[in-house]
Amino acid sequence: MIPLHPRIVHFPIALLLAATAFAILAIIFKGKRDLFKELTIWNLTLGIIGAIFAIASGLSEEGSLVHNETIHSIMETHKLLGFIFFGIYILLLLWLVVRKSKMKNFEFTGIVVLLVLSSGILSYSAHLGGKMVYEHGAGVSPMEKILKSKDHNHDHNHNDEHQEHDEHKH
């Protein structure tokens, strides 16, 4: 079965990055600020909903992904960053909705700065997802046979912490 996570993850990424772009446009085009704020809120909302499904699918598929220690380390960082940017985006959306009509310019500028920072975290997390696939072959059927081989496999419970030492680096 083809994993769901790589099929759906691009939609919330695009929506959350678009929300950041609209927030920046709200600062640049003051006459259209209300329109761009509204677009920011809607893109954040839809992006967060999509991210819920992306996170859930990633967590449910994590244990079935054939991987070695290197991929596992990248996957753990990818997951941690996903939770971080997801939490930041939720807080920013709530802040925007609650303070929408009372928000001062400096306050909105602060939100935009946090959106840009969170988008940086999101982009790096997405880069790590791509790195697992394109540099290390995670989730690629021909590579799974190699990763399952005796020389590339690793044993652990996904709830256990890994040791710092990585015997599988080449």
Confidence of residue 165 (pLDDT cuts 50, 70, 90): very low
Q: What is the pLDDT of residue 73?
A: 95
Candidate ranges 63-72, 117-126, 140-149, 158-167; pick with highest mean pLDDT: 117-126
Q: Is the per-residue pLDDT at 169 higher than 50?
A: no
5-148 CATH fold: Four Helix Bundle (Hemerythrin (Met), subunit A) (1.20.120)
Amino acid of residue 10: H
Mean pLDDT of 1-19: 94
Rounded Cα–Cα distance for residues 163 and 72 (Å) = 12
Q: In this structure, are residues 97 and 40 in contact, taking their beta carbons and an 8 Å threshold? A: no
Confidence of residue 139 (pLDDT cuts 50, 70, 90): confident
Q: Is the per-residue pLDDT at 12 higher than 50?
A: yes
The DSSP secondary structure of 42-98, one letter per residue, reads HHHHHHHHHHHHHHHHHHHHHTTS---HHHHHHHHHHHHHHHHHHHHHHHHHHHHHH
Q: In this structure, are residues 85 and 129 in contact, taking their beta carbons and an 8 Å threshold? A: no
Q: Is the per-residue pLDDT at 145 higher than 50?
A: yes
Amino acid of residue 48: I
Q: Is the per-residue pLDDT at 167 higher than 50?
A: no
Rounded Cα–Cα distance for residues 51 and 128 (Å) = 16
pLDDT in tens, 45-98: 999 999 999 999 999 998 888 888 999 999 999 999 999 999 999 999 999 999
Q: What is the pLDDT of residue 85?
A: 96
Distances (CA, A) of 162 to 95, 128, 137, 155: 37, 19, 21, 10
Q: Is the per-residue pLDDT at 151 higher than 60?
A: no
Rounded Cα–Cα distance for residues 109 and 115 (Å) = 10
Rounded Cα–Cα distance for residues 153 and 108 (Å) = 49
Segments making up each domain of the chain, as ranges: 5-148
Average pLDDT, the chain: 88
Confidence of residue 118 (pLDDT cuts 50, 70, 90): very high
Confidence of residue 163 (pLDDT cuts 50, 70, 90): very low
